[in-house]
Chains A and B, each alone.
Chain A
């Protein structure tokens, strides 16, 4: 076990835990953002650099700080490590810079993007970005590509997080897409416009943090905040069959895997559940899905807002007093 202090809050975690996972155990605002790291995907992380943190003390044995900011999603904790995330100016400035870089070639077409309202880049920009744009050069653009009957790739929005590549690599039986080209000319693609057509291919849509990979059966059908998310399940021979239905009235507009508070899927689902079962009668409805009250999806007010205030340990008592009570 190792004791690590993140933004002044101490927690004991198992050896081998990363700084990000330790921060997630504490929860609340001190959790670094992550655009490329995805818990179920082995080897993901370290690329987007938005989770950079400052290690001000390497360990109890070696108290020297780490010379550079480190990616919290791939750096393992040491006993006695002290980490600064939200409390370090250098980290916040670096994160601001990285958000700016991520937005350089992103089209900011949120008003017409199917991912709007559940886009990690949107949330990241809101929390760490700046309102002014310094980039005045031409942005890169790509044609939309249909990769198979269900998925449309819009590379213009892609931030090259590689999550979809890891997904295809690790949970589907064949590898038909990857990264082509180099630098800012790199693109996600299939070899000579192949199709991504295996039974689990739809999961690349769920792991995409932006709107680069979209569900063709859902495109332009509705805005996410006008729909009603319901937890449902069915007896599926291929996957767990545990999904979230996105309905308008009695009509099921979209089926996705269930996601946790960090927007990561709990269990990957098969294409049959995702694309072919769009009737209420196909599913056993468990009830409304819990949506964080600060999410734009909760704007529809389909249920009473849930007060979900993260209780951060070691807060001064004056602060605790002002927290709304459940």
Chain B
């Protein structure tokens, strides 16, 4: 059992209230930072901690903060990206619902470090119940003098707002989020300039994930060096993993980075093994946008070592035999799951959510979805598989924002690792479309 940084008090009754939260050590980081540390010292602690962005990209948080431009007389902003909406990802929603003050505390400490006097939590519009919980927590913080003017008598002022989005996945992309927050259509911006130079309202802005911000209070309270001791290598600290799919115990787990994947899937502490004792077929380790890995590659790295739940280990072997930790949405497939159907399902999502600004993503995501639909429903042609690979390659890297990559990677990876299954669907359409039919590893044998 590892150290719980984010979830230690998560099941304490009433932890969503200020009173109970403070009884369990809440807002100590705000007091410590504002009374005893300069903003630069807080940034330095975060740098020392090695904390990496928990939204998916894994960029070092302290470094991102130090890139923030500081022109004279121009406001700076901290924006919390709570627009979580990738299939399989539900850790931030769960965390905000259970422990809203932890995020508010993180926002205050982080805003102080960045010199922001106005900060925003941009939340997915569908999560109105979470929005109400956050608003209540913020109101309590204002009433207690933890937000507003002259916090803890330090002379530091901060206003914190919650802004609901319209429910578009693309608004999770940081520049689209800023457009949406400004009241415009949520289309990604061309970069450069990056938000650290010109972000919200053309001012320097840092956009961080919920989990990233919520980790900052522990780092301030216990020092970055202590945080860096947790985890493995450059994957320091703990990580919330939202586990779903064919496992016995789906849910959100806080793990020390570096836990073996095999242990995470099979131990009772975490997922508790595959549902109904079936065989593991594949895993999408970091949310639907990252490449899928078959059972043998999710358990072992390209070098034949045990695969670990860390940024480096999961990406070992590049996209040929590796994947990504991403947002930590761990989706498990047992032997009865159809990879073609699953890939079509993901593709349908990205087609629906493409903003339509740039040509390869707008047209390519729809094209892939239609071809996958055809294959899944028994109307595929032998050349369709290579067509999908080619279209995915045309999209990858050629779009304004990473949604194009997110749409292309799952398709390319599914074909790379499960090509036989696609061929089976095309060669045996009648069997493949029968209810409950699934490919069992014999391309020319009919199995249902």
**Contact (Cβ within 8 A) A179 B356:** yes
**Contact (Cβ within 8 A) B359 A179:** no
Which residues of chain B come closer than 8 Å to A104, judged between CB atoms? 363, 366-367
Measured CB to CB, the closest approach of chain B to A279, in angstroms, equals: 42
Point out the residue from A46, A97, A186 that lies within 8 Å of B394, measured CB to CB. Answer: A97
**Contact (Cβ within 8 A) A97 B363:** no
B382-435, CB < 8 A from A: 387, 390-391, 393-394, 397-400
Which residues of chain B come closer than 8 Å to A183, judged between CB atoms? 351-356, 362, 365-366
Which residues of chain A come closer than 8 Å to B447, judged between CB atoms? none
Which residues of chain A come closer than 8 Å to B367, judged between CB atoms? 101, 104, 135, 137
Which residues of chain B come closer than 8 Å to A179, judged between CB atoms? 185, 356
How far, in whole Å, are A293 and B366 apart by their CA atoms in the complex? 39
A29-55, CB < 8 A from B: 45-50, 52
Q: Is the interface of B mostly helix, strand, loop or mixed?
A: helix
How far, in whole Å, are A105 and B364 apart by their CA atoms in the complex? 11
Interface string of A167-194 (1 = CB under 8 A from B): 0000000000011011111100000000
Given contacts A182-B356, A183-B362, contact A47 B394 (CB under 8 A): no
Point out the residue from A49, A137, A178, A185 that lies within 8 Å of B359, measured CB to CB. Answer: A49
**Contact (Cβ within 8 A) B360 A49:** yes
Measured CB to CB, the closest approach of chain A to B350, in angstroms, equals: 9
Is there a chain B Cβ closer than 8 Å to A92's Cβ?
Answer: no
**Contact (Cβ within 8 A) A181 B364:** no
**Contact (Cβ within 8 A) B356 A69:** no
Which residues of chain B come closer than 8 Å to A48, judged between CB atoms? 358-359
Given contacts A137-B367, A179-B185, contact A184 B398 (CB under 8 A): no
Is there a chain A Cβ closer than 8 Å to B279's Cβ?
Answer: no
Point out the residue from B168, B351, B394, B397 that lies within 8 Å of A100, measured CB to CB. Answer: B394
Identify the closest chain B residue to A138 (Cβ).
B370
Is there a chain A Cβ closer than 8 Å to B357's Cβ?
Answer: yes
Measured CB to CB, the closest approach of chain B to A44, in angstroms, equals: 11
Which residues of chain A come closer than 8 Å to B354, judged between CB atoms? 182-184
Given contacts A46-B190, A94-B394, A137-B370, contact A181 B356 (CB under 8 A): yes
**Contact (Cβ within 8 A) B370 A182:** no
Is there a chain B Cβ closer than 8 Å to A61's Cβ?
Answer: no
Given contacts A97-B398, A183-B351, contact A47 B357 (CB under 8 A): yes
**Contact (Cβ within 8 A) A98 B360:** yes
**Contact (Cβ within 8 A) A47 B358:** yes
**Contact (Cβ within 8 A) A159 B359:** yes
Which residues of chain B come closer than 8 Å to A52, judged between CB atoms? 398
Measured CB to CB, the closest approach of chain A to B346, in angstroms, equals: 15
Given contacts A52-B398, A97-B398, A183-B351, contact A47 B363 (CB under 8 A): no
Measured CB to CB, the closest approach of chain B to A35, in angstroms, equals: 8
**Most B CB atoms within 10 A — which of A48, A100, A101, A186?**
A101
Identify the closest chain A residue to B186 (Cβ).
A182
Interface string of A90-134 (1 = CB under 8 A from B): 000010011011101100000000000000000000000000001
Measured CB to CB, the closest approach of chain B to A212, in angstroms, equals: 14
Given contacts A182-B356, A184-B351, contact A69 B397 (CB under 8 A): yes
Measured CB to CB, the closest approach of chain A to B404, in angstroms, equals: 10
**Contact (Cβ within 8 A) A94 B363:** no
Is there a chain B Cβ closer than 8 Å to A160's Cβ?
Answer: yes
Which residues of chain A come closer than 8 Å to B374, judged between CB atoms? 137
How far, in whole Å, are A152 and B149 apart by their CA atoms in the complex? 56
**Contact (Cβ within 8 A) A94 B185:** no
Point out the residue from A100, A162, A182 that lies within 8 Å of B353, measured CB to CB. Answer: A182
**Contact (Cβ within 8 A) B362 A184:** yes
Identify the closest chain B residue to A74 (Cβ).
B190
Which residues of chain B come closer than 8 Å to A83, judged between CB atoms? none
**Contact (Cβ within 8 A) B364 A101:** yes
Measured CB to CB, the closest approach of chain B to A241, in angstroms, equals: 35
**Contact (Cβ within 8 A) A102 B355:** no
How far, in whole Å, are A184 and B355 apart by their CA atoms in the complex? 8
Identify the closest chain B residue to A71 (Cβ).
B190
Which residues of chain A come closer than 8 Å to B356, judged between CB atoms? 160, 179, 181-186
Given contacts A94-B394, A101-B394, contact A184 B363 (CB under 8 A): yes
**Contact (Cβ within 8 A) B359 A101:** yes
A-B CB contact pairs (8 Å), 27 listed: A45-B190, A46-B358, A46-B400, A47-B400, A49-B360, A74-B190, A97-B360, A97-B391, A97-B394, A98-B398, A100-B394, A101-B359, A101-B364, A101-B367, A102-B363, A104-B367, A137-B370, A137-B374, A178-B185, A181-B356, A182-B355, A183-B351, A183-B352, A183-B353, A183-B355, A184-B351, A186-B362
Please give the residue numbers on chain B whose beta carbons come within 8 Å of chain A beta carbons, in ascending order: 168, 185, 190, 351-360, 362-367, 370-371, 374, 387, 390-391, 393-394, 397-400
List 6 A-B pairs, minimum CB-CB distance, nearest first. A97-B394, A186-B356, A183-B354, A101-B363, A46-B190, A184-B366
- Known interface pairs A102-B359, A104-B366; 16 further A-B residue pairs with C-beta atoms within 8 A, sorted by A's residue number: A47-B357, A47-B358, A47-B359, A48-B359, A49-B360, A97-B360, A101-B360, A101-B394, A102-B363, A135-B367, A137-B370, A137-B371, A160-B362, A183-B355, A184-B365, A186-B362
